[in-house]
């Protein structure tokens, strides 16, 4: 790896290694019916939409229903990130999706924290968790998830998010949820403008979001782009995922470089390493090749990511100092 990197937008259930999928599937007696394991958890070339993309989460959802499975999955992922050379990552997941076998949200979260801490042992990686409410979840569940995040803030959890099929429920419906998060000083990012329109991004910023997940639709509006620049809202962009979900029709039309040149703090991320069959270095190579980013540009985007990290200020300053003092092959 040429540079120490940061992944702010990474879903646990979309990033299970094939070895973990194989092991957990065997434990529950899952029958792949002749299908290749990778094909069952990775999106193919025929993906037509975000809804189609989200089907790849069906099997991980079945596998991650015990404390042991959740701990193993997060430990494996965190070790994988460290092995890739990452220095910081925020791993997001929705505890309410892992309750099918009777686990409480607290036990689920503690199992994931245990795995994350084990995975970081002996490495240079620092990581934190983002707890996701769901667009297609109940208001009660979403409120409980944010309450849980508040209880564990600084104890493994660094913030919250809302994920799921954008547009299924109007963004305005979630304003009270995020206003309460702001009142409780819970840092939050919001999936917005991935496959929806720029109005979702504008609303998310008005609710107090300091970061936006994806945000592709901002390219539709100069005023939206100006807002993001003025308010220094960091965009967590995931190029390969955006191409697969058809959020962007082609690599040539992806707005990442336009946003960067506009002065918006943009970052590149993986979204789902297994579903999208990607790693951070693959994303970096792609945007260098097709968008003309230089090594210095990639360094700047990684610094944007660290500046926007939700981790505590003291820890953040240490990571940024390490980043700034590192030698680059520019």
Q: Which two tokens stand for residue 46?
A: 């025929």
323 with 306: CB under 8 angstroms?
yes
Q: What burial letters (b/e) apply to 177-210, b meaning 16+ CB within 10 Å?
A: bbeebeeeebbbbbbbbbbbbbbbbbbbbebebb
Look at residue 279 and give its three-state secondary structure: coil
Q: In sequence order, what DSSP letters do the residues of 235-249 get, joined into one string?
A: EEE-HHHHHHTTSSS
Among residues 110, 194, 236, 283, which one is catalytic?
Answer: 194
191 with 217: CB under 8 angstroms?
no
Angle at 18 between CA 12 and CA 24, to 5 degrees: 75
Look at residue 193 and give its three-state secondary structure: coil
Instruction: Note the Cα 285 to chain centre separation in Å.
Output: 19
Nearest alpha-carbon partner for 49 in 174, 178, 191, 196 = 196
Burial tier of 67 (Cβ tally within 10 Å: 0-12, 13-18, 19+): middle
178 with 188: CB under 8 angstroms?
yes
Nearest alpha-carbon partner for 91 in 189, 19, 175 = 189
Q: In sequence order, what DSSP letters do the residues of 222-239 get, joined into one string?
A: HHHHHHHHHTTPEEEE-H
**147 has catalytic annotation:** no
**What CA–CA distance (Å, rounded) separates 211 from 222?**
18
Q: Which two tokens stand for residue 11?
A: 């879903």
Which residues belong to the active site?
Answer: 194
């Amino acid at each position: 790896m040429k540079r120490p990197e940061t992944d702010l937008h990474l879903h646990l259930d979309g990033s299970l290694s094939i070895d973990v999928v194989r092991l957990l599937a065997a434990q529950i007696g899952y029958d792949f019916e002749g299908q290749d394991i990778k094909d069952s958890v990775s999106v193919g070339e025929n993906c037509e939409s975000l809804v189609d993309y989200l089907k790849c989460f069906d099997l991980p959802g079945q596998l991650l229903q015990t404390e042991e499975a959740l701990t193993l999955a997060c430990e494996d992922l965190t070790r994988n990130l460290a092995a890739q050379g990452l220095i910081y990552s925020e791993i997001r997941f929705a505890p309410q999706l892992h309750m099918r076998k009777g686990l409480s949200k607290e036990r689920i979260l503690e199992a994931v924290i245990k795995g994350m801490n084990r995975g970081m042992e002996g490495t240079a990686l620092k990581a934190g968790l983002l707890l996701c409410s769901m667009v297609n979840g109940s208001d009660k569940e979403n409120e409980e998830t944010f309450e849980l995040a508040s209880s564990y803030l600084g104890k493994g959890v660094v913030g919250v998010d809302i994920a799921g099929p954008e547009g299924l429920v109007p963004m305005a419906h979630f304003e009270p949820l995020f206003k309460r998060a702001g009142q409780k000083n819970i840092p939050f990012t919001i999936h917005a403008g991935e496959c929806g329109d720029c109005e979702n991004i504008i609303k998310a910023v008005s609710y107090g979001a300091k970061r936006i997940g994806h945000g592709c639709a901002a390219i539709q509006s100069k005023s939206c782009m100006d807002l993001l620049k003025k308010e220094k809202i960091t965009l967590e962009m995931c190029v390969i995922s955006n191409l697969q979900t058809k959020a962007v029709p082609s690599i040539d039309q992806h707005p990442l470089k336009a946003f960067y040149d506009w002065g918006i703090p943009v970052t590149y991320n993986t979204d789902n390493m297994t579903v999208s069959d990607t790693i951070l270095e693959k994303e970096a190579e792609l945007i260098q090749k097709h968008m003309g980013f230089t090594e210095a540009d990639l360094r700047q985007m990684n610094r944007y990511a660290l500046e926007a990290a939700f981790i505590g200020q003291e820890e953040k300053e240490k990571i940024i100092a390490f980043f700034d003092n590192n030698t680059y092959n520019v």
